[in-house]
Amino acid sequence: MNTVLTTAANDPAPPQLVLPGKALPASAAFSWIGEGWALFRKAALMWVVLTVLILLAAVAVSFVPVIGTVVWQIITALIAGGLVLGCWSLEQDGELELDHLFAGFKRNFQGLALVGVAYLVGMVIVLAVFSIFVGLSVLPALLMGNSDAAISAFATMSGGLLIGTLVVTVLSIALGAAMWFAPALVIMHNVAPLEALKASFLAVLRNIVPALIFAIVMFVLAIIASIPFGLGMFVWVPVLITASYRAYRQIFTA
């Protein structure tokens, strides 16, 4: 395996980037979560504040049909990149600040935005594939966010729904794997957007066992977090972010 070492752009003491990424043991999943929890505890209140602001922004954008969905996918990539810098700051004994929420708009904006666009295109392709199995009438309803029309279309379907659901699940997981580490690679190391998506996808394949364990554990924790009126999600979401950051650091940096 060829290993390429580069440095993060514009950082005084950046981590070295290891490509194509390291293969880690299954136990790494628990390390990601434990170290993510430690990062959360360093600035718990600010993490909760940032989570609330993200939620409010998502709700506000959702009121704009179609365009809101498109814009939010791009904004999500920009926010993700900024929060990576926030995690990096905490890791270096710095502060997590409100400005980190907007850092992706100021640094490597184009690269992060293109990651968001690529993810959006991937979502459209996944929905298009789904519509092939369940009928073309579903796609406009899903894109428009028209739940009533979508439910009516689903009600007229037969076995195609099950097959379509299985195919879409696999494609969605693959898309999520490509997106998982891409913002970090772009904003920390100036990796080209498509290369970042490819590297992220291949890294998840290389670490499929710890990635699956991580997904299962976080899913269980999400159920637990949702019990007290969903308030636990204001802790779960930041821990998901910080644990994902630690996964990136362990897989992609020296």
1 pLDDT above the threshold of 60? no
Q: Measured between alpha carbons, how far apart are the two ends of the chain, in Å? A: 15
**Which one, of 246, 235, 249, lies nearest residue 41 by Cα?**
235
pLDDT tens digit sequence for 185-238 = 999 999 999 999 999 999 999 999 999 999 999 999 999 999 878 899 999 999
Q: 23-54 in b/e burial notation, b at 16+ Cβ within 10 A?
A: ebeeebbebbbebbeebbebbeebbbbbbeeb
In this prediction the pTM is 0.85
